[in-house]
Amino acid sequence: MYNAICKSLAMAAVVLFAAACGDSRSDAARELCRQSESEIAAGRHYAAIGLLDTLDSRYRDLTEVRRSGMAIRARAMEGIALDSIPLYDARLAAATLAVDSMRPLFEHVDGAPGIDGYYLPKGTDRRAFATTGIQGRVSDDGLFYIAASVAGRSIGLRALELRSGAETCTSADISPARVVTVRGSEAASFSPEEVDVLGRWLTAHRGQVKLVLRGRRSDISQALSARQQKEIVDCYAYAKALQEQRTASIRREKYERMLATARDQIANLTPAPDND
C-alpha cells in the first residue's frame, strides 16, 4: 500500500513537472512572437524574421504558437518589401537614365554566322584583329569583355596587363585552347569575369597607361592611347549601367512578388471578424 501511494505521488509529480515545463516552453515561444512584433513596430523587419526562425526551429511542436508566428512573419515580409521597392525604384531610374544617355554613343557590330555580335563606341576602329592590341566590347547580353590580338607573332597569349607608373593590374590567365592562331597571328576574347578588374582599374587610372600582352613564350608592351582608353572605359561604363538596370529591375520585381505573397498570407491568416 505504501509503495503504491509513493508511486502515485511520483507519477503526479512527473505530470505536474511536465505541465510546468510545457507552460514554460509555451510562454517562451509566445515571448518570441511578442519580441518579433516589437521589432516590426520598430521597423527592424529582418530582426523579426530572425526571431521567428528561432521560434520555428526551437518549438516545432507548438503548432498554435507557430501559426501566430506565420501571421507575424507575413507582416515582416510586407515591411521588407515596402522598404525595398522604393530603393530599387531609385536604382532602376538612375540606371535607366545612364543607359539612355549612353546608348546613342554605341553601334552594333554583327558577328559572323554562328557568332554573337557586340557593341562598340561609334567611331571605333573595327579592325581589332588586324593589329596588335586590345578592344573593349559590350556583348549582346550587356557584358563587358575584351578582344585581344597579336599580329604577325605567336607569343602564346595568356593574359593582359595594364600599367600606370608603379601600379599594375592583370587579367586572369586563359588556356591555350582559347587562343586562335591564323598565319602566325593570335587572337582571343577575354570574358567579363577575366577582365572586369581591368575595366575598373582603367576607369581610375586614365593617363599614361601601358598595355602588356603577356604570353607563355614572350610579352609585348605598347602604349595605350587616350582614345583607346576612353573606348574601353566607355564600354565598361555602358555594360555596368546595363547590368545595374537589369539587376534593379529583377530585384524590384522580386519585392513586388514578396509584397503580393505577404498580403495574401496576411489575408488568409487573419481571423475573420465575429459578427455575432
**Of the candidates 70, 75, 66, 68, the residue with the CA atom closest to the CA atom of residue 41:** 75
Say what the pTM is. Answer: 0.81
* Model pLDDT, residue 15: 32
Cell reading at 73? 512573419
Q: What is the pLDDT of residues 82-96, one digit of tens each?
A: 999 999 999 999 999
* Model pLDDT, residue 273: 59
Interatomic CA distance for residues 41 and 66, integer angstroms:
19
* Model pLDDT, residue 18: 39
Interatomic CA distance for residues 78 and 263, integer angstroms:
7
Average pLDDT over every residue of 112-118: 84
Largest CA distance in the chain: 109
What's the DSSP call for residue 139? E
* Model pLDDT, residue 116: 87
* Model pLDDT, residue 128: 62
Average pLDDT over every residue of 107-112: 89
Average pLDDT over every residue of 142-160: 96
Q: What is the pLDDT of residues 257-272, one digit of tens each?
A: 999 999 999 998 876 5
Cell reading at 264? 495574401
pLDDT of 275 above 90: no
At residue 182, φ and ψ (nearest 5 deg) are -135, 115
CA-to-CA separations, 101 to 80, 97, 144, 260, in angstroms, rounded: 32, 6, 18, 34
* Model pLDDT, residue 38: 94
